[in-house]
Chain A
Amino acid sequence: MAEKKKPYSLKILHSTLMLMGFILILGAVSCRGEEPQLPETQTPSPEGSTATHFPDPTASEAAEEGSGQPSEADQCLICHADQQALENTAADLVVAESENSGEG
């Protein structure tokens, strides 16, 4: 009795399954021995994910403050922190007698 032939569609299905199985085995073998890579954990910040996507306002303020800090060569400080310089440049002290009378 002649052997019953498998239908053509079954042959294709069989081949496909074999191929997928082969790919899975190949993949498993290639990954063996590597540490699993977990996503890096981070301490949540008060700003949450916003800090990741937007400029950090604190950092921005700090940068601004930094740029606005009095430098050592700040002429304002050079004079106003120097008593002698202030004494030399101060206007004369005018002691005006009060023109008010009675208790205010």
Chain B
Amino acid sequence: MEPWEKALIDEEAFLDTVHGKISCQECHQGQQSPDKETAHTDLIPYPSDDPEAFCGDCHPNLVSSAANSLHTSLAGYWTVLESRGVLEDHPPAEEMFDNHCVGCHASCGDCHVSRPTSVDGGFIDGHVFQAKPSMTNNCIACHGSRVGNEYMGKHENLKADVHFRQGRMTCVDCHTGYEMHGMPANCLECHAGPLTNQVPPPDHRYDGLQSPSCESCHASVAAGNDGNYMHEQHSGTLSCQVCHSVSYTNCDGCHVSLSEETGSPVFATEGSYLGFYIGKNTLQSYARPYEYEPVRHVPISMTSFDYYETGMVSNFEGRETWVYTTPHNIQRFTPQMESCANCHGNSDIFLTADKITPGELEANRDVIVDVIPPLPK
């Protein structure tokens, strides 16, 4: 977007909305002056960076629950960092986090008014607030390289997700406001009341119940009464994506640093590639009972943060580098379905030890498939 375009208000449309009844200065402060510099003195460009002060008066419930949202808390980052020995109260780690991770924080405005600041912002619709974020301007602006590309079929020879291709569904059709605002979605829907508040906030994206879950819409599949023999045989043992997903992006060896030229935070990944690998489920629980699910390589390495402190990843074996994943490229028909032998007895499709870098074997011991499920007799 051009610089002027990012800040252009659609006066007629905006003033006709509820937020348009509030004076500009009530949220953005600044000064009344025709001179740009004077007008922008003490300006607050992103009021919702302080949601309690600027959004909480009218949206108290959303603001209080959103504090628990992973978009706000970024708790998932610290969960995985700490499990690998990168400690939160360690100054070099905090400096690294501030430079490379905090930018992914999403404020209210990043979803409802503008494109996220991490992708240089700009009004989505002339400063008219959007109750539902835009898939392309908001969600995929951040979640683009994996989720966005997979969902919209940007990889050669790989179709877009059937929910997009045929259902024309956008992100918010599954990822509801409950989830986005840090409310434990399915719990609240059924268990409104004091106990709801005792559900702890999620500490990573796969914490707690599956929300959204495939079964929320495909209930007959979950109940095993849709007449599909494969569903009867495999449900509970395999996550839905094992059969209904196709190749997705995996990344290796990300290293972060500050640019020598500009001082800006930069990253470099050693490689990315498409692939589909079935691994053991390391997050087995009531909500995720599967024995197998697809696994994706995340770009962590032992030296990822050495720019800030050598050996900062002090417990590399503390977490897998091939992790539980839910690729957003669901298909009605996939190569796995073409024949039983495409999975049973086929070591190519499973994450076996020979596919893992020697230095990562220990970290992935729980996810490696040692015995390939044979063809049923």
Q: Which residues of chain A have C-beta atoms less than 8 A from B8's C-beta?
A: 80-81, 83, 86
* Cα-based distance from A102 to B277 in the complex (angstroms): 22
Q: Which residues of chain B have C-beta atoms less than 8 A from A102's C-beta?
A: 251, 254, 267-272
* Cα-based distance from A76 to B261 in the complex (angstroms): 36
Asked if A86 contacts B267 (CB within 8 A), the reply is no
* Cα-based distance from A74 to B30 in the complex (angstroms): 12
Number of residues from B at the complex interface, CB < 8 A: 39
Asked if B39 contacts A76 (CB within 8 A), the reply is yes
Q: Which residues of chain A have C-beta atoms less than 8 A from B3's C-beta?
A: 86, 90-91, 93
Question: Known: A65-B21, A83-B8, A99-B264. Contact between A104 and B32, CB under 8 A?
Answer: no
**Mask for A53-95, Cβ within 8 A of B = 1, else 0?**
0000000000001001111001111111101001101110100
* Cα-based distance from A99 to B23 in the complex (angstroms): 40
Partner of A99, one of B145, B249, B262, B269: B262
* Cα-based distance from A103 to B4 in the complex (angstroms): 29
Asked if B36 contacts A89 (CB within 8 A), the reply is yes
Asked if A100 contacts B36 (CB within 8 A), the reply is no
Give me 13 other A-B pairs in contact (C-beta within 8 A), A68-B21, A70-B20, A90-B4 excluded.
Answer: A65-B21, A68-B22, A69-B23, A70-B24, A74-B24, A76-B28, A81-B10, A87-B4, A90-B2, A99-B262, A99-B266, A100-B266, A103-B251
Residues of B bordering A, CB below 8 Å: 2-4, 7-11, 15, 20-26, 28, 30, 32-34, 36, 39, 127, 145, 249, 251, 254, 259, 261-262, 264, 266-272
